[in-house]
Structure 1
């Protein structure tokens, strides 16, 4: 049974969300602080971690960074904050997804299932090396290289890059990318924008004038062949 760790300081939300997740078939356990969450994850290693941002003591951002240093467990932020800055900061800290309170449990459960499927999926298209000038993507090896040098990317960034690389020159909308990479029918398109921005920092010499990962205004993104 899939185990979920909830790090949430609000007693009412912590109890109700734990019970709702158990009703959805998860083994759920919860703590009230980031420090407790890190210790609990090291002890029991949940399959997915849910983190609130407004925690006492260590805030959610630092909690995510420390969790990410330990392993690559899928991390979902569950927060009342819906400002773009907060979403960007949480994803930059290492979160895989962001859900705004009040939480719809069925939607959250669907996202958790998608995260677990993505974690288990091995990408293996026909072409072993996808080349875009100095950029090389090796889906079967899980590698990205720029000018022959390995580029460190997260699992989600890699899936996003592979999806674009499998359709060279084709514009994919944010909604299409949410469906294909995150496996969400509906979701916050800012998640796509943040991951594109992070990829550009790693593969573009000039993020203001990207050569590889290009924005097509009003339509979406493409990987330039």
Structure 2
């Protein structure tokens, strides 16, 4: 099945280069060049993945990401010219799954797109259909999460991270292992990415669910 990617970039040269490479990789590509049209386009075409620039006219990519994720769980690869780590963490907090800092290699961008989609597909093809831990229920087939009967809307990467922890309740997972097994990053860099996604899970599911093991990583506590 052909995957559809929405590229949101106001620099037409970059947008055309990214679109050309992704089309050469076999993707269908839609383009948007400002915040409002990006949200509308995402609603209309229901992309499998969004490549999203932070700096956009209308409103910025952070707001675009926030609005898209409120309507559909879709993996987002964020592009930023900023070097400030705070801006990158904000992007992850509003639902981005990965990011590239400009200038970037078009080849690396294509590789990141493939990696993000593989993560989503692996989760969708999981053998078990449901994980239940007390009042926490994870439906793997429908990619739904509820706690205490209330549904939590997770991004694709938040969902995969939760599943990875829930499959090994109480077992401590190092940040480096989580980066390798959830994100596919083998070099162990980017541990702040893990921390940001853990904060998002706590915000959506409760602060008592995931325990921090200082200097090592995280463990999912079985809810009481």
Q: Structure 1 length as normaliser, TM-score?
A: 0.81
Consecutive unaligned residues in structure 1, runs of 5 or more? none
Contact 1:21-1:105 at 8 Å conserved across structures: no
Q: CA deviation at 1:128?
A: 4.3
For the pair 1:203 / 2:200, whether they are aligned, the reply is no
Q: Is the deviation greater in 174-183 or in 45-54? A: 174-183
Q: CA deviation at 1:103?
A: 1.9
**Equivalent residue, structure 2, for 1:48:** 49
Question: 1:107, 1:118 → 2: CA distance?
Answer: 17
Question: 2:35, 2:212 → 1: CA distance?
Answer: 37
Match of 1:219 among 189, 201, 216: 216
**Equivalent residue, structure 2, for 1:129:** 132
Q: CA deviation at 1:140?
A: 4.4
Q: Do the aligned partners of residues 128 and 39 (structure 1) sit closer, same or farther apart at CA in structure 2, a change above 3 Å counting?
A: closer
**Equivalent residue, structure 1, for 2:26:** 25
Q: Do the aligned partners of residues 109 and 140 (structure 1) sit closer, same or farther apart at CA in structure 2, a change above 3 Å counting?
A: same
**Equivalent residue, structure 1, for 2:7:** 6
Give the CA RMSD over aligned residues: 2.6
Consecutive unaligned residues in structure 2, runs of 5 or more? none
- 1:133-144 to 2 correspondences below 5 Å: 135-140=135-140, 142=143, 144=145
Q: Do the aligned partners of residues 203 and 27 (structure 1) sit closer, same or farther apart at CA in structure 2, a change above 3 Å counting?
A: closer
Q: Is the deviation greater in 192-201 or in 152-161? A: 152-161
Q: Structure 2 length as normaliser, TM-score?
A: 0.81
Query: How many residue pairs end up in the alignment?
Result: 216
For the pair 1:72 / 2:78, whether they are aligned, the reply is no
Question: 2:144, 2:46 → 1: CA distance?
Answer: 26
> The residue matched to 2:31 in structure 1 has which SS?
strand
Q: CA deviation at 1:124?
A: 4.2
**Cα deviation per residue 1:5-52 (whole Å; 9 max; x = unaligned)?**
211112332222222323333333323212222233333333211111
Q: Is the deviation greater in 21-30 or in 1-10? A: 21-30
